[in-house]
Amino acid sequence: MTIPLILASKSVPRRNVLYSAGVCPTIRVSHVDEPAALEHAAEQAGVSVDELSVNQRVMILAEAKAQAVYQAYRNVADAAAAATGERVTAYPLKAVGVGDAGSVPSSSDLTAVPASASSSASPASGVTGGKASDITRDFSGVDVPTTVEPIHTPADGAGKGGSGVNGTDADDTGSTGANGSGTNNASAIQGLTTAAVGPLILGCDSMFLFNGECHGKPHSADVARERLRAMRGHSGELWTGHCLIDFATGRVARGASHAIVHFSDYSDRDIERYIATGEPLEVAGSFTLEGFGGAFIDGIEGDPHGIIGLSLPLARRLAGELGVEWTDLWNVARGEHDPAPKADGVTSSASGSVPPKENVRQPGDGWIDCDCGRRHWGLNGASGVLLARRDAVTGKVTHVVMQHRALWSAEGGTWGIPGGATADGESAIEGALRESYEEANITPEDIEVVGAYREDHGNWAYTTVFAFEKPGHTVMPRANDDESMEIEWVSIDEVPNRKLLTAMRTDWPRFRARLDTIAEEPAR
């Protein structure tokens, strides 16, 4: 069984180190206030920040980052565990007259679907549609068989994670990894609250010690220039702290690595050209080993990976302290190359937009050749949150949170709900809660899950998670990343007037009816 790893950092070099070593991590940025974390730790120790050693500083910050992400996942798991209500599962491929589930739809099927109907289409399709295999089948008007179960009842069959008919992110283009051949793995089915081990959460921090001073990222050209001039022809120490947390047990392992770096006697012209690349501005010590700066390093004593920001030997030892074998984290096949964000080599024909270069494949990302004859996004399926607000007096639903999808995404420019591919190691509800926070700032501690709707295609399914704001709590939605043009509370009566994602347009009448019914039930 592969144990998922969550990297509490958006550092591309750190992710690349892991990927090259066979581990494709889930990326979750910690958003830690680093100066505040150091000040708090110094105050607890009864010293000033300046009195903290470089070793202490990188350990403090690495743990602060790991703990912040641990708490974020804890909030997701707690909200999912507290879910109430029922899960309605629809089986459109079992409907009378739909035809052989595994067959590719006929041309008449395709012409019945609007050109924009592509909730599972590639980023290339935009609002003009894509390949026929990418266009979502339209099951409106079909008498679809359904089952009703308590929301925590394990889903039977494949596609347990869910999939993207009502807002899946077919946004971040990717391909399958060592464990991602299009089948759902056991860890994705278990969920965060039932796993005996993992996922592991890794926090990292790096600082450069030079002439007795600790240097982090310079952030400006002037600071980088001053440091690079002082460092040439001399040596310094690069320290990297790691904190690894096992989510299942809460156990923590910490450690730090360091290496001595010997710099060449580079020129002022070299410095100016190096600064012009932008590379030294956002890296600890104002230099890199694996980039433009590597040519100006004459030698290294110690752990070279630690200089890049992630020490593989240290991470392996920390995993061992938690009882996890490093090889249990491998989820990338030997020789597999990390796919670029725009793996299909195309752009949105409607806008000329391309996925942002920061978008990288994460565990669970990839295409499924669905039994319905189309392609869908999410190796473990996908899910999203339909969050509703109720009137404080009447209890009636007044608004829902809607996502205006980025132009480069599938059916870009339409409105749907925030959500995406279910990651390895999480359930459909957990995936929906994580994605809705990452994309739309829907804070899981401020909402209550009250039901779900799962459209099951056999080897692929999408779960729409119904939720209300908790009484006395307020969710302030906003676009947390570049997958949305805007996120906003939309009046319940205004929703059908928006240009909706194809499947959302089909499902909205029943979704509204269900929200109204749940809102009328006795207080939970």
At which residue do the structure tokens 């206030």 appear? Answer: 33
Residue 236's DSSP bridge partners are 261
* Strand positions, DSSP E, 391-473: 397-405, 415-416, 419-421, 447-456, 461-469
Spatial CA neighbour of 503 closest among 458, 469, 457: 457
User: What's the rounded Cα separation, in Å, for the pair 429 and 450?
Assistant: 11
User: What's the rounded Cα separation, in Å, for the pair 260 and 263?
Assistant: 10
CB 432 within 8 A of CB 465: yes
Q: Residue 181 is which amino acid?
A: S
Spatial CA neighbour of 41 closest among 205, 172, 176: 205
CB 123 within 8 A of CB 131: no
Cβ atoms within 10 A of the Cβ of 253, count? 21
User: What's the rounded Cα separation, in Å, for the pair 236 and 215?
Assistant: 10
Q: Which two tokens stand for residue 499?
A: 């240009």
Q: Which two tokens stand for residue 217?
A: 């990222």
Spatial CA neighbour of 166 closest among 417, 475, 344: 417
Alpha helices in 277-311 (DSSP H): 304-308
String of DSSP letters for 155-180: PPSS-TT---SSS--TTS-----TT-
User: At 383, phi and psi to the nearest 5?
Assistant: -160, 165
Considering only the C-alpha atoms of the chain, give the largest distance between any 2 of them, rounded to a whole number of Å: 77
Q: Which two tokens stand for residue 150?
A: 């308590």
Residue 434's DSSP bridge partners are none
Chain centroid, CA 297 distance in Å: 35
String of DSSP letters for 324-352: --GGGG--S-TTPPPPPTTTT----TTT-
Q: Which of 205, 246, 365, 456 is catalytic?
A: 205
Which H/E stretch holds residue 266?
none
CB 318 within 8 A of CB 292: no
User: What's the rounded Cα separation, in Å, for the pair 450 and 433?
Assistant: 13
User: What's the rounded Cα separation, in Å, for the pair 381 and 461?
Assistant: 6
Q: Which two tokens stand for residue 452?
A: 């779900």
205 catalytically annotated: yes
Alpha helices in 405-501 (DSSP H): 428-440
Residues contacting residue 458 through CB under 8 Å, at least 6 positions apart: 93, 101, 157, 158, 159, 370, 371, 372
Q: Which residues are catalytic?
A: 205
